[in-house]
Amino acid sequence: MTVEQFSLLWQCFAQRVRQNQGHLDDLDRAIGDGDHGTNLTRGLGNVETLWNQSPDQNLNLQALSKKVGMTLLSTVGGASGALWGSGLMKAAQVFPASSECDDETFVLWMDAFVGNIEERGKAHVGDKTMVDVMRPAVNWLKAIPQDRSLRARLHELQELVQQYSQGTKDLQARRGRASYLGARSIGHVDPGAFSSALWWECLDSVLGG
């Protein structure tokens, strides 16, 4: 993973979330308060301007993970702002303070990122949250033989990510706003799981090319 790819990842994510803003809000309207797409779009818009403001700022991976995290933390709001933001800020230390890292380090970074989200939100797989996509995806990457390129593994992962995301539909929410609905939360895909799947899609397109 290079700084350049990492930057592209967030720009892709910003774009994909913006394209899906209405759908994400609709998903959140069904089991939450209808703001998930709006929240993420607002914050990721601010992330995009990081590169417009100072396109030549040669940040290293560690600094960039912190910077993107800080921006999301201070501009998304809601549950997802705290989770994405603090998750990225804390995971930054896994990255080297240089412009590149090997695949193994990047997987470790993802593992830490998701671990922070789990810790902050106290959610487990099956609680109908973004963790239902994030955790199994990272675990799958960790379990698949490391001699295969990350690019190939990521590509193969895409289909599973879709299943993880769609799989939240049949679950009853135990965390977040949707949990207040009890059994009424069943039958709707979790908005945070859906947006997380977009992130994996971007990772594939940035690294897989």
Ligand X SMILES: Nc1ncnc2c1ncn2[C@@H]1O[C@H](COP(=O)(O)OP(=O)(O)OP(=O)(O)O)[C@@H](O)[C@H]1O
- The CA–CA distances, whole Å, from 112 to 67, 95, 147, 170 equal 17, 10, 21, 28
Q: Which does 190 bind (CB under 5 to 8 A by kind): Mg ion, ligand X, another protein, none?
A: ligand X
Could you tell which of another protein, Mg ion, ligand X, none binds residue 82, using a CB distance below 5 to 8 A set by kind?
A: another protein
Would you count residue 188 as binding Mg ion (CB under 5 A)? no
Does 35 contact Mg ion by CB under 5 A?
A: yes
Using rule CB under 8 A, residue 86 touches another protein: yes
Please identify, using beta-carbon distances, which residue of 151 and 177 lies nearer to ligand X: 177
Which one of the spans 33-41, 63-71, 134-142, 154-162 is the region binding Mg ion (CB under 5 A)? 33-41
Restricting to residues 114-173, name those near another protein by CB under 8 A: 120-121
The C-alpha angle with vertex 52 and arms to 11 and 199, in degrees rounded to 5, equals: 10
The answer to the question of residue 38 lying near another protein (CB under 8 A) is: yes
Binding mask 6-25 for another protein (x = CB under 8 A): -------------------x
Among 9, 12, 14, 79, interactor with another protein by CB under 8 A: 79
Judged by CB under 8 A, the number of residues near another protein is 32
193 contact choice in Mg ion, ligand X, another protein, none (CB below 5 to 8 Å, kind-dependent):
ligand X
DSSP per-residue letters across the chain: -BHHHHHHHHHHHHHHHHHTHHHHHHHHHHHS-S-HHHHHHHHHHHHHHHHHH-TT----HHHHHHHHHHHHHHHT-HHHHHHHHHHHHHHGGGS-SSSB--HHHHHHHHHHHHHHHHHHHT--TTSSSTHHHHHHHHHHHHHS-TTS-HHHHHHHHHHHHHHHHHHGGGSPP-SSGGGGGGGGGTTS--HHHHHHHHHHHHHHHHHH-
Question: Is the Cα torsion angle 83, 140, 94, 148 positive or negative in sign?
Answer: negative
73 binds, among another protein, ligand X, Mg ion, none (CB under 5 to 8 A by kind): another protein
CB of 63 to another protein, least distance (A): 18
Residues forming contacts to ligand X in the complex (CB under 6 A) are 28, 32-33, 35-36, 39, 78-80, 83, 121-123, 129-131, 175-177, 190-193
CB of 78 to Mg ion, least distance (A): 6
